[in-house]
Structure formats: structure tokens, C-alpha cells
Amino acid sequence: MAETITAPILTLTLNPTIDLSSHADVVRPTHKIRTSDESFEPGGGGINVARVVAELGGAAELVYFAGGVTGAFLDELLGTIGLSGHRIPIAGQTRIAHTVHEHQTGLEYRFVPEGPAVSEAELDACVALVEAFRGRYIVASGSLPRGAPADIFARLAHIARRNGVRFVLDSSGACLKTTLETAEVHLVKPSVGELEKFVGRPLEEEEVREAALDLVRRGAAEMVAVTMGARGALLAHRGGVVRLPTPKVAVRSAVGAGDSFVGGMTWALAEGWPVEDAFRLGIAAGAAAVMTTGLRLCQRADVIRLYGAIERAPERGKAR
């Protein structure tokens, strides 16, 4: 039987990464690309969310898969930044993702491997840890590894609901669709592109609002936060719809903006903030993340400053 976990927030990372960031003068085919300023960070959706929660002063525990030599390196990186977690050993090697910043153009190239496969027994170990969680929030974030069924997060959401735990979902594709069609979550954060794939067509802004409200009305999610990059974000919940802009910042890297949003909003909710204020903090955290280079995610001082710059917006379009 798994030991009971009582941290306020538990994050799930079923397909973590070691994130390598570097710089190059120019990226071109065939030729060797000489890089510099290499840095390594522990990554993957749930791990990034936990990093943001810790940066904001909160406490989160991790559940993550790790295997092979690279899995040991991931453990070392997590220990270096002081994150505690429940490592589920797997037979495969933890993947390594590579982001290259090109000096001549300012462009960013991101290479993300598929990653290892996981077994049913390895997934069962994750389920047991979720069963043992007695905190307040579970955040399931990131892609699924090969071998994981599309309904794995739906299964975990059902367990969370049965145990009185609020389930936060940030995933995409078949996993997002299956979870929202077969389970009930507290908060889901699709990007506008992910929401379009979910409904099967491009969406104008008013249609984004209606699609988000529809998920609330039919009980798939209590809150739907749709991120739209530089255009801001939209929050649909039982009280109505809030649409807020993103603060204007100097964009240096897009890595981790979505994870920072989820981490910021979940931390604020766990601290008891009103829903709309937590939404504002999520936007501030996402904007703060793009200000940093490489893999640093958001910085607390930037988040607080940007949060103060985002004006409150009146609700409209009550969900009935």
C-alpha cells in the first residue's frame, strides 16, 4: 500500500524530460551546429508546475516516471532545486528535449522526443499514489508516454473526485478529449489551438467563449481557462466569463509559459484566492515566463509585478 501523501498540491508527470537549452549563431542543415551556454533543467508539465508553485512560496510533491541513466540524472536535477517527489521506476530511458536559440534571427528551435513506453504495472504504481493522496489539488500536466491509454487521466480524475480532491488537467489530443468526455475536472487549461482540436474546427473568439462555457454547462469542468498567447486568456466558470489581456512584456522564450500559468493559478486557488484573482495570477505567471531565457520559467518578483498591472474585468455571459 502506498504511503499517504498530504501535501497541498500533487503534480503528475508521466512523460518527464531533461530539458537541455543552448544557443547557436545559426541553425542550418547538414553542417555541425556549434552550441554554447548549455543548461539542464528537470522538465515535463507536472514538474514545471511544481517548480512554479515552489517559486511562488507553495508546497507541491511530484509523482513522475524515470528510468535509465537519464532517469538518474533527472533525480539529480530535481534534488539540486529542492523538489521532493515520488519516483516511479520504469524500464525505459527518460527522454531529453533540446531547445536551441538562434542568435542571428532570434528564433527558437525546440526538439522534443517521443520518450519511453510504460507498462501497465508502472501505470498501476501511479494510480496507487493518486489513491493515497489526501491533499487538496492534483495537477495532471503534459503528454502521455507510449503505452499509457488515453483514459488514464480520466481514471485518475474519478479517483480524485471520490477522495474529495480537486483535479486540474493540462493535456492535449486524445487524452484531453477522453478526459473531458468521461470525467469531471475542477480546472482544465487548453490553449486556443488545443480547444480547436477538441471541437474539431477553427474558432472565432466568440466561439471560443461558447465552447468553454459549454464544457462548464455540461459538467465536464468547473472552470475552463483558455490561453491565447499574446492575446490574453479567457476563463469560463459557473459565475460567467472573464476575458483578460496579457501584459505587454519583452518575449525572450516561449518555453514553460503554459505550465507557469497552471502553476500560478493552482497555487493561488490552493491558497484560497478568489477564482478571478487566481486567473489573473495565472496570466501574470505565464507572461513572466516568456520574459526569461532558456528554461528558467517564471520568477516570483516578475509575477507579482505583472499581477498588479492586470486590471480586473467584469464578468459577462452567465453559465446557465
Catalytic residues: 259
Burial (0-12, 13-18, 19+ Cβ within 10 Å), 124: exposed
First to last CA, the chain: 43
Q: Radius of gyration over alpha carbons of the chain, in Å?
A: 19
The residue among 255, 225, 3 whose CA lies nearest residue 110 is: 255
Residue 32 is inside which H or E element, if any?
none
Rounded distance between C-alpha atoms, residue 304 and residue 247, angstroms: 12
- The CA-atom distances, in angstroms, between 222 and each of 80, 237, 247, 275 are 36, 6, 26, 11
Are 47 and 14 within 8 A, CB to CB?
Answer: no
The Cα–Cα gap between 245 and 248 comes to 9
Distance CA 211, CA 195 (A): 8
Q: List, as one string, the DSSP characters of 229-288.
A: GGG-EEEEETTEEEEEPPPP------TTHHHHHHHHHHHHHHTT--HHHHHHHHHHHHHH
